[in-house]
Each structure stands twice: as C-alpha cells, then as structure tokens.
Amino acid sequence: MIHDKDYMIRMVREFSNFLSKLLLGKNEGNPEENQMAFETQMKDIFHMNYEELAARTKEEINDIILEKEDHHQADYYDLLGNLFYYKFKEKPDADLAAKAKMFYELWLQKSSTFSLPVMGRISELQSAL
C-alpha cells in the first residue's frame, strides 16, 4: 500500500513538471503525443478526464484532495494550480482563473514555500477575475 501511494505521488509530480514545461514552452514533444500524455495522466491521477474535473466546483475538487494524506496534499495543489493555469492560458476564463488562483494559494500555504513565479501567476490570475 505504501508503494502504491509513493507511485501516485511520483505521477502527480511528473504531471506537474510536464505542465510546467508546457507553460514555459520548453517541451519539444509532438503536440499529439503531449495531448495523449495529458489525457493519460489525468485518467491515472484523477480517474476522470479534464472536462469532468473542470466541471466540478473548487470546493468539490478540494474535497478530493483533502481525502489524500496530509503530506501529499501540497503536491496535488501544485498540480491543480498548474493544470488550471495551463488551461486558462489556452482559453482565458474566469472560472479557470479562480480555480488556478485558489489551488496555487493552497499550495503556498500547505508547502510553506515562497515562489516568485507562482506569486506572479496569482497576480495575473487576480487581474483576470
């Protein structure tokens, strides 16, 4: 059981890193392969596709994360912040901005980490609301 949880956290971190590379434009992969990797990671981590996750409220998504072990929650918040920010950059929408902002703020609180890039993203998202 412990092995399974470690594997899931590695997947969460890898997906978050993948999204970070896409946000920075540093991913040289094929767009079709990137989309397939995105969809596969969504199914593996959240057991639903992006559209199903995005249709949920911020509170419903947060409830899913609160069911996870306390020390893993920061990784999920980081992933969700990156996910909704990435989707916001693709298609600006106030709901995506609000979700990204909330999950970035929860990540900052939970991880006790100060990150200038995340603070910049929060400011950008705030101006979009």
What tens digit of pLDDT does each residue of 20-79 get?
777 766 656 677 887 888 899 999 999 999 999 999 999 999 999 999 988 899 999 999
What tens digit of pLDDT does each residue of 63-114 get?
999 999 888 999 999 999 999 999 999 999 999 999 999 999 999 999 998 8
Whole-number Å distance between alpha carbons of 47 and 43: 4
CA–centroid distance for 125 within its chain: 14
> Quick count: other Cβ atoms within 10 Å of Cβ 85?
25
- The pTM (predicted TM-score) of the whole model is 0.85
Tokens of 28: 């040289």
Longest dimension (CA), the chain: 43
User: Which among 107, 101, 99 has a CA at the least distance from the CA of 57?
Assistant: 99
